[in-house]
Amino acid sequence: MSTPAPPTLTVADYPLSTNRPELLRTPTGKPVTALTMDAVVSGELTAEDLRIAPETLELQAQLADASGRPQLAANFRRAAEMTAIPDAEVLSMYNALRPRASTAAQLTAMADRLESTYSAPVSAALVREAAEVYGRRRLLADDEPEDAATAATSPDAVTPAVAADETTPGSPS
């Protein structure tokens, strides 16, 4: 994208939808003013057009910083990274972070994938921190050497532990 570096906003720019609409674009590159009923009816718009763009989350992060809310800003910056991750994978990553859902190796693989595939270093750091704390608090899935080895190499490694958990109860296996 050839978008210029975002400006530094102040609280007076809020709400962006009324005060700075020119800064707002959809992830598909359309200006927010293109989101009209005509465009909906003609089928020109898809659900993809009604998503937030990472650049917009960065603008909202600036507003959160400017209003003294650093944690909220950090949340928006993780969110900006996560806009690139498909819905289903976001859900499976969330499930993989549940207690005893993943081995240390699986969480490491997930962090690596966040960093390498999605350029999401802030989110990856959160996952690595989780892996460290889960290890100390015994909240990792039991390490089974085979699984761990697969997890470290497979990009799909973020899902299996949870999928197994959810089908196990009551099943005859």
Partner 1 sequence: MTAVAPRPTEQARRSLRTEALEARPVNLDGFVEEWPEKGLVAMESDFDPQPSVRVADGVITELDGRARADFDFMDSFIADHAIDVATTEASMALPSVQIARMLIDPGVSRAEVIAVTRGLTPAKVLDVVKLMNVVEIMQGMQKMRARRTPANQAHSTSARDNPLQVAVDAAEGALRGFAELETTLGVVRYAPLVAIALQVGGQVGRGGVLTQCALEEATELELGMRGITAYAETISIYGTESVFVDGDDTPWSKTFLASAYASRGIKMRFTSGTGSEVQMGNAEGRSMLYLEIRCILMAKGAGVQGLQNGSISCIGVPGAVPGGIRAVAAENLVASMMDLECASGNDQSFSHSAMRRTARMLPQLLPGTDFVCSGYSAVPNSDNMFAGSNFDTDDYDDWNTIQRDLQVDGGLRHVREPEVLAVRAKAARVLQALFEHLELPRITDEEVEAATYANSSNDYPFRDVLADLTGAQQVMDRGVTGLDLVRGLEATGFHDVAENLLTVLRQRVSGDLLQTAAVLTADFTPLSAINDANDYAGPGTGYRLQGERWEELKKLRHVTSATDPETEVD
Kindly state whether residue 63 participates in binding partner 1, applying the rule CB under 8 A: yes
Pair 82, 53: CB distance under 8 Å: no
Question: What DSSP designation does 152 have?
Answer: H
Q: Which is nearer to partner 1, 73 or 141 (CB)?
A: 73
Evaluate whether 123 touches 114 at the Cβ level (below 8 Å): yes
32 lies in the binding site for partner 1 (CB under 8 A): yes
Which of 5, 137, 168, 170 is the binder for partner 1 (CB under 8 A)? 137
Q: Specify whether the CB–CB gap between 124 and 158 falls below 8 A.
A: no
Size of the site for partner 1 (CB under 8 A): 63
Placement of tokens 């917009």 in the chain: 56
Among 2, 17, 153, 171, binds partner 1 (CB under 8 A): 17
Minimum CB distance to partner 1, residue 152 (Å): 20
Please report whether residue 50 would count as binding partner 1 according to CB under 8 A: yes
Q: Minimal distance in Å, beta carbon 19 to partner 1?
A: 9
Q: Which helix (H) or strand (E) holds 55?
A: helix 54-66
